[in-house]
A and B are shown apart, each in its own frame.
Chain A
């Protein structure tokens, strides 16, 4: 498990970076230029306007102040209980919030503030969603058709889309005859590879993996996490959204702990060790101690 601080070495180039950069950066003076973050979220707040019975308007605030940063080549895990607003942040990053959502705070893409419309335009090529459940595949279209459409959306013309679809499958270790299959003819593992192939079609700089591991067998979890680490090794940033801390710690460089719509702590993954005394916030410590390997201890906090 490796980690680097925000002031670590400059981003590894996108293509050549085949091994995880593990050389710890010398913590020298502040004169070293900070590596530019791919994505920076500052004090994001998301609320929804709802209509109660009749015309009474009601505002529900789901995200109350979240901040995080993802750099090229690193896996940042956002960990928190269900309903903490993790997935909403993921959707906000992709510009996919429903129309009745209001947001405040700042989202920066490579240092430039981007509004929801600009984020929407980034989706597919700059940022990508990497889901894991097979319901994310269109049940009526063949794998090939969906891959080709993804390639077209990423800017390929009709002929290159065909070539890129086949190449993307090969890259995920799938045979070409999978192109002709429908999603219901795929096994879970194959389906997840197809989803990965589609998500990576636009060569995104940032991949948002939303709850990739729940309900999977340990071997499948390892495969999924391995793939995420591979994406980071190839130079993209990965934002891993999960409520499973132990799985997240397998691959994450940094961990953002969220609770009830707020980030309570951002820390190196290495801080989750021993009694968790290196963790600053009691909630992070409670999460860590509640893991099976750490006595299942549940403390009220």
Chain B
């Protein structure tokens, strides 16, 4: 295969990806808008808040007209979508800021939490999965598998509350809430403080990802350990620690990588609950606030952002899998 045709193949794959991304975003935008239009959410009521009773029907009609709420949904969608294409997602009613700004701020705050939880669940899940597979049927394997099943069936918010009770309330090792000590200004928070506030939410959030990675890695490890090339390595005198490191780890990494990147969506979903439990001011907490206070522009913006992040996660997973397992390289070209 020539270099040129390989490059062309890559270009085509990238083009296909872009088309897929655009169609996904269009579908998400249309779907979410339809849901919002069909829902009993009343933007005027959400905007005015508790004073709804104080404004008359005349004033109300004026607001509706000004916002274009009396027009048919399809037309409203057209206007909104036209603004979205130019990068204007509207203004958040709750925060009184442009939606893009709110999302950027909150996402930046969530990023450290998400990244830490993601790394924690990936590294822990993979290592423990390898260990469980290597000690199949023995005590360690049984304990790890049992633990993974327990975690898989435990809801995030419940695990969060439990950790909060043990480490923050009983042992008082970690703070009870928030991303920084109460009453400090954003400028004067030290890195240590930040990490201190991050540990427990990250741990809670990583729980979502550990067990699938652990269980799949364990299965992959068992398969690799039963393969011909491991038998050959053993015949060369290779023993267990070396066997795992040199012959098994990379072969078993495929499913773990795919899962890990595909779980970005679950991670975002989990962050909604985890951030609520720990009152961590991230994107997840903003989502809850937006939903509870019927902030339609912010909700739509978050839906689009989440779709984008999940798509990028999946694409990266594909890429990482192909790098780790070279056989799949040829197939894709």
Q: Which A residues fall within an 8 A CB radius of B?
A: 94, 96, 121, 123-125, 128-129, 131, 133, 135-141, 149-150, 153-154, 182, 184, 195, 198-199, 201-202
Contacts and interface: CB of A to CB of B under 8 A. Distances in A.
Contacts of B330: 184
Contact of B234 (A123, A125, A140, A184): A123
A140 to B, nearest CB: 4
A136 B232 contact: yes
Given A139-B229, A141-B250, A149-B246, A96 B234 contact: yes
A135 B238 contact: no
B159 interface: no
Contacts of B229: 135-139
Nearest to A198: B236
Contacts of A123: 234-237
B326 interface: yes
Contact of B236 (A135, A141, A153): A153
A149 B246 CA distance: 8
Nearest to A133: B228
A182 B229 CA distance: 13
A140 B228 contact: no
B325 interface: yes
Which 10 pairs show the lowest CB-CB distances between chains A and B? A124-B237, A129-B235, A136-B232, A135-B228, A140-B250, A136-B228, A124-B236, A138-B229, A153-B237, A182-B326
A96 B231 contact: yes
Contacts of B234: 94, 96, 123
Contacts of B251: 138-140
B247 interface: yes
B327 interface: yes
B326 A131 contact: no
Contacts of B247: 138, 141
Given A124-B237, A125-B237, A195-B232, 10 more contacts: A123-B236, A128-B235, A133-B228, A137-B232, A139-B251, A139-B325, A140-B324, A140-B326, A182-B326, A184-B330
Interface string B226-250: 0111011111111000100011001
Nearest to B251: A140
A125 B236 CA distance: 8
Interface in B304-333: 324-327, 330
Contacts of A149: 233, 236, 238, 246
Contacts of B231: 96, 129, 131, 136
Contacts of A202: 236-237
B292 to A, nearest CB: 49
B333 to A, nearest CB: 13
A139 B236 contact: no
A195 B232 CA distance: 9
Nearest to A149: B246
Contacts of B242: 153
A131 B236 contact: no
Nearest to B246: A149
B236 A201 contact: yes
6 contacts: A121-B237, A129-B231, A135-B227, A149-B246, A150-B236, A154-B236
A184 B326 CA distance: 9
A210 to B, nearest CB: 10
B237 A140 contact: no
B228 A131 contact: yes
Contacts of A133: 228
A71 B288 CA distance: 78
Contacts of A121: 237
Given A123-B235, A129-B232, A131-B232, A184 B246 contact: no
Contacts of B325: 139-140
Nearest to A122: B237
Nearest to B229: A138
A96 B230 CA distance: 11
A201 B247 CA distance: 18
Contacts of A198: 232, 236
B326 A139 contact: yes
A136 B235 CA distance: 11
A199 to B, nearest CB: 8
Nearest to B245: A149
**Residue in B232, B247, B326, B330 with the greatest tally of chain A CB atoms within 10 Å:** B232
A268 B209 CA distance: 63
**Residue in A133, A136, A138, A154 with the greatest tally of chain B CB atoms within 10 Å:** A138
A250 to B, nearest CB: 24
Contact of A96 (B228, B235, B326, B327): B235
Given A133-B228, A149-B246, A139 B327 contact: yes
Contacts of A96: 231, 234-235
